[in-house]
């Protein structure tokens, strides 16, 4: 049956990395990495951003060829010349950015490259039948002729898995698969992955979310600075032990919360309305305060921040910054008022990937320091970039390196560094640690604390309850496009916040 894993050789690992190394110009991404993944197991791969996880997955998927060592499938050395060669060998990597064609149908995406044909013409009836069969294997009821671009992210991810299974994949790697999924969608994905394990597939699972790793995986491999640190049964390790091996040091309290006095008015929002908001929103946050906003997917949190920043046009309401009323018709008005935004999707909205770290750091301040308002002030930009790189401990080969070569955590620091080059009064952070490892999270939290210490008003949206509870001075809960409650830090609990965030009928059911 298509989608069933091919039995592995008894006693031989389905997948093995043996002394794998990878060098790029000026950077050693991997150095002598060796570990095995058994058939019928879910094997976690963890490490800080920049530890080498993504590079290893690209080697496995055929996108890179290692400069040292070898990859073995069932004990046989394989050398993939590209992603199609890896797929042909039964290896599929499900990346965070899915590799589907949005304008094509589900069925066409599933069988792209091997469409059923009769006399040189695609057999549409057979294609629909085969697609339906593959979708049934993973428990999905999606019309095969539906354009992939019309599907929600969770279903697109399921299509990507089904696509891998049409090629007979028996070794699957997942790269941060739950970063944009709701809790219900995560449970569905976990059910599929466990089913794949039961079929005898070897699963390599990359995630920064510790609770997922301990709930789902059997064994774990930890990388640090491109080197293998440890491979062990998860049952033999505690969460603290995993963190300490990842970062190479103890992290007693990654949030570093501290009590600070309010130092004056920060941001005041009065009766704000606009796209994604179901009822007028009013709240205030003081200068020197970190205000957390929690809610489930679709609660309107991102929409609220975009309205405040002017990335979406409000239909009513007023804003005050530092006690002064401001008119925000767009991001330029927000910047002039001292409001900045670090967006949730940093790759699409926060950085210019084809430009250098230096250019991304100076992108906003350039308008103020350009000579005569026209000529780039290269001396100032170079000095400012080096200062921000040092201040925020941005790990980059140089200021001239392309920002797309940096890890997610360091890209986030560059975005923060850009705003630190401005006169900032209010910082809006939308999922600031999404897809970032625990060590980088700790550094981001330290930057947030320093901003608050300096009298900046910090407003943070997060879907991670431990983060909301750990870093916030006060918490707003959103539900259905409106603010449902305000909760003091001293009385906030995970269960309490989740109950407030759930739709009323679900909240009653869980009470």
All structural domains of the chain: 15-247 (3.40.50.300), 265-510 (3.40.50.300)
Local structure of 313: helix, strand or coil = coil
Q: How many residues does the chain have?
A: 511
* pLDDT beyond 70 at 5: no
Which residue, among 243, 253, 252, 251, has the nearest Cα to 48 in the 3D structure?
243
Which pLDDT score, from 0 to 100, does residue 7 have? Answer: 54
* pLDDT beyond 70 at 511: no
Local structure of 271: helix, strand or coil = strand
Decide: residue 39, CB within 10 A, 0-12 exposed, 13-18 middle, 19+ buried. Answer: buried
pLDDT-derived band at 509, boundaries 50, 70, 90: very low
| DSSP assignment of 161-226 | HHHHHHTT--EEEEESTTTT--HHHHHHHHHHHHHHHHTT-EEEEE-S-HHHHHHH-SEEEEEETT
Q: For a pLDDT cut of 70, what percent of the chain falls above it?
A: 94
* pLDDT beyond 60 at 337: yes
Which pLDDT score, from 0 to 100, does residue 331 have? Answer: 93
pLDDT-derived band at 209, boundaries 50, 70, 90: confident
Q: Are strands 426-430 and 339-342 parallel, antiparallel or unpaired?
A: parallel
Q: Is pLDDT larger for residue 444 or for residue 114?
A: 444
pTM: 0.62
pLDDT-derived band at 99, boundaries 50, 70, 90: confident
Compute how many other C-beta atoms are within 10 angstroms of the C-beta atom of residue 256: 15
Select the highest-mean-pLDDT range: 99-103, 148-152, 192-196, 420-424. 192-196
Which pLDDT score, from 0 to 100, does residue 10 have? Answer: 65
Mean pLDDT of the chain: 87
pLDDT-derived band at 17, boundaries 50, 70, 90: very high
Average pLDDT of span 380-398: 89
As a whole number of angstroms, the distance between CA 316 and CA 221 comes to: 52
* pLDDT beyond 60 at 54: yes
Average pLDDT of span 102-106: 90
pLDDT-derived band at 266, boundaries 50, 70, 90: very high
Q: What is the dihedral of CA 45, 49, 50, 52, to 10 degrees?
A: 10
Q: Is pLDDT larger for residue 76 or for residue 346?
A: 76
Select the highest-mean-pLDDT range: 55-64, 160-169, 463-472. 55-64
pLDDT-derived band at 13, boundaries 50, 70, 90: very high
Q: Is pLDDT larger for residue 250 or for residue 366?
A: 366
3-state DSSP of 326-346: ECCCCHHHHHHHCEEEECCCH
As a whole number of angstroms, the distance between CA 63 and CA 80 comes to: 8
* pLDDT beyond 80 at 336: yes
């Amino acid at each position: 049956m298509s989608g069933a894993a091919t039995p592995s050789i008894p006693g031989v690992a389905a997948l093995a990395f043996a002394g794998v190394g990878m060098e790029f110009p000026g950077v050693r991404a991997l150095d002598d990495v060796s570990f095995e993944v058994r058939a019928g197991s879910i094997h976690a791969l963890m490490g800080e951003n920049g530890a080498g996880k993504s590079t290893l997955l690209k080697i496995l998927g055929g996108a890179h060829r290692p400069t040292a060592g070898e990859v073995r499938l069932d004990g046989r050395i394989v050398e993939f010349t590209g992603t199609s060669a890896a797929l042909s060998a039964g290896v599929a990597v499900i990346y965070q950015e899915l590799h589907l064609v949005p304008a094509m149908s589900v069925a066409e995406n599933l069988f792209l490259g091997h469409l059923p044909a009769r006399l040189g013409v695609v057999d549409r009836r057979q294609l629909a039948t085969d697609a339906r069969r593959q979708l049934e294997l993973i428990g999905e009821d999606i019309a095969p002729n539906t354009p992939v671009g019309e599907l929600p992210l969770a279903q697109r991810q399921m299509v990507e898995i089904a696509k891998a299974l049409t090629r007979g994949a028996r070794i699957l790697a997942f790269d941060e698969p739950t970063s944009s999924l709701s809790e219900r969608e995560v449970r569905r994905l976990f059910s599929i992955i466990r089913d794949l394990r039961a079929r005898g597939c070897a699963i390599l699972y990359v995630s920064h979310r510790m609770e997922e790793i301990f709930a789902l995986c059997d064994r774990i491999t930890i990388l640090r600075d491109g080197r293998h640190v440890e491979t062990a049964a998860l049952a033999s390790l505690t969460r603290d032990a995993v963190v300490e091996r990842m970062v190479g040091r103890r992290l007693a309290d990654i949030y570093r919360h501290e009590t600070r006095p309010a130092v004056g008015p920060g941001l005041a929002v009065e009766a704000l309305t606009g796209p994604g908001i179901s009822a007028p929103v009013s709240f205030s946050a003081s200068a020197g305060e970190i205000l957390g906003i929690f809610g489930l997917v679709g609660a309107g949190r991102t929409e609220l921040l975009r309205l405040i920043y002017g990335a979406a046009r409000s239909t009513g309401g007023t804003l005050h910054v530092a006690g002064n009323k401001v008119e925000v018709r767009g991001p330029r008005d927000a910047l002039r008022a001292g409001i900045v935004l670090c967006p949730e999707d940093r790759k699409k909205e926060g950085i210019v990937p084809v430009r250098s770290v230096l250019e991304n750091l100076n992108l906003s301040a350039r308008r103020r320091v350009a000579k005569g308002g026209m000529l780039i002030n290269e001396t100032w930009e170079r000095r400012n970039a080096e200062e921000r790189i040092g201040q925020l401990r941005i790990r980059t080969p140089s200021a001239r390196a392309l920002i797309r070569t940096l890890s997610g955590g360091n890209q986030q620091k560059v975005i923060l560094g850009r705003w630190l080059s401005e006169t900032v009064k209010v910082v809006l952070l939308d999922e600031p640690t999404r897809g970032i490892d625990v060590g980088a999270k700790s550094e981001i939290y330290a930057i947030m604390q320093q901003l608050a210490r300096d009298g900046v008003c910090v407003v943070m949206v997060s879907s991670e309850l431990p983060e909301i509870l750990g870093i916030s001075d006060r918490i707003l809960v959103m539900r259905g496009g409106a603010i449902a409650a305000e909760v003091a830090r001293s009385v906030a609990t995970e269960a309490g916040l989740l109950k407030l965030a759930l739709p009323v009928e679900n909240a009653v059911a869980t009470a």
